[in-house]
Structure 1
């Protein structure tokens, strides 16, 4: 009885564990066009201007940023980089750039901001042949639920996928629903939920949630096994452990009756 119960439980659960179950070797899957992350109000960015005339270009650099920018290449260093001075985008989507004054950056990507700043410096004859570098400073997303290392993670490049986010969180636990991964996204003044099925590559690649944006929240729903374990000792009438315990008790009582006879 115990072996039969364990066999049926394993058969019904294994099929829900694998990712990308509809993938076929050699068959290409269509992916949505990858959007780049665009800066929003309250985001923090760093902007560094370099040129042949270092003394002149330093007029456009915040003191600490010019020495620290570009150092962070992994997660731990990127956390330290959050202490570096930078430009916080105001509610109007602008930053106050040295000498130039107010510059609108909201709705632009990193590369677009760099091009805009460079064009302004050249057209206003402020710096010749400037090289402008723009980096994210406080952009992040969160991963919650049935993952091995839930938490908040920083975005350090333009395109980060849901799979990368899950990987950074240590992958789903065995109790996470592969077909019930939710992404909560701020769109204007509302929060929009998306549901993603990781067992289907087609659905995942076509989803607007495949590429993450700043402030996204990823939540992995627990499966029924985890829900059963959430009861006291996990022993309710629906749990496997309940039936195993009941079978063990029945075997013990049977042995006692046999010995009494």
Structure 2
């Protein structure tokens, strides 16, 4: 009877540990308690920061009138003897300097740091009115909007975001989601602001209230690091997760078989 009780305790402990581990895996566990009405009604719009690379196009019904404001460059394509051949002209890209300025044709230096794209478009549109007979269409795009995801994810890497808007969940999806070794309650976000100040923020993705966080939406050049859990730290020498679980299961079966044999012999 003592051996039987011991066997039951082993099985119960294993099951309890499995349940405890499972509670650490799902995202947004208390989502039913989140009041979505408290979220901002406005859509997220990224702000322009130093070292951002931009394209700015100006369009009117008279293409010739907009030419001075749409600088182009010839891009090298290959060598033909001693001469370069080129592709079609590409739009000039504007690098935002450390003070948040760009040098725009005709208009000169423009301060656009900490402004959204729509704000920059409105400012340039207003400044161009003295030079054009009609209100132009101004389009600003970020060329180098990228984020990095590393740590306990399936496909760590740096990702370029074409729509210039990405949240934490989307960033993890780009990286193939967390592995079972990743800590959902301790995801680190590394961010550098427009003043060059760096910060590390710890985020808990188990908690659905993460959607209220000012860090839920990522900025350009953010780095997301998924911390490994204690099991990964203890078993860092085991390269294959499946092998680990099969080994653990085999040990439990062996113990159960041994105790059953002893019990039957007694």
Deviations 1:71-121 (A, max 9, x none): xxxxxxxxxxxx964111122321111122211111211001100110000
Pair 1:17-2:25 in alignment: yes
Q: Is the 8 A contact 1:184 1:193 kept in 2?
A: yes
Query: Who is 2:170 aligned against?
Result: 164
Deviations 1:186-245 (A, max 9, x none): 13232111111111111x0222210111111101111222223213679xxxx9788667
SS in 2 for 1:11: helix
The within-5 A match list for 1:82-101 is 85-101=92-108
SS in 1 for 2:131: coil
By percentage of residues, which structure has more strand?
Answer: 2
Question: Gaps (5+ residues) in structure 2?
Answer: 1-6, 75-89, 260-266
Query: Who is 1:111 aligned against?
Result: 118
TM-score normalised per structure 1: 0.76
TM-score normalised per structure 2: 0.75
How far the C-alpha of 1:35 sits from its partner, in A, is 4.8
Question: Gaps (5+ residues) in structure 1?
Answer: 66-82, 255-261
**Alpha-carbon distance in structure 2 between the residues aligned to 1:233 and 1:150:** 17
Q: Is the 8 A contact 2:153 2:226 kept in 1?
A: yes
Pair 1:190-2:197 in alignment: yes
**Alpha-carbon distance in structure 1 between the residues aligned to 2:200 and 2:28:** 22
How far the C-alpha of 1:44 sits from its partner, in A, is 0.6
> How many equivalent residue pairs?
234
Q: Is the 8 A contact 1:34 1:211 kept in 2?
A: no
Change over 3 Å in CA distance of 1:90–1:27 after alignment to 2: closer
The within-5 A match list for 1:49-198 is 49-63=58-72, 85-122=92-129, 124-126=130-132, 128-187=134-193, 188-198=195-205
Deviations 1:157-187 (A, max 9, x none): 3532111111221211121111111111113
Deviations 1:17-43 (A, max 9, x none): 111111118964633576522111211
**Alpha-carbon distance in structure 1 between the residues aligned to 2:72 and 2:146:** 25
Q: Is the 8 A contact 1:121 1:127 kept in 2?
A: no
Q: State the Cα RMSD in Å.
A: 3.3
How far the C-alpha of 1:132 sits from its partner, in A, is 0.2
Larger radius of gyration: 2
Q: Is the 8 A contact 1:50 1:132 kept in 2?
A: yes
How far the C-alpha of 1:62 sits from its partner, in A, is 2.5
* Alignment equivalent of 1:201, drawn from 178, 201, 208: 208
Q: Is the 8 A contact 1:177 1:223 kept in 2?
A: yes
Pair 1:42-2:48 in alignment: no
Change over 3 Å in CA distance of 1:154–1:52 after alignment to 2: same
SS in 1 for 2:31: coil
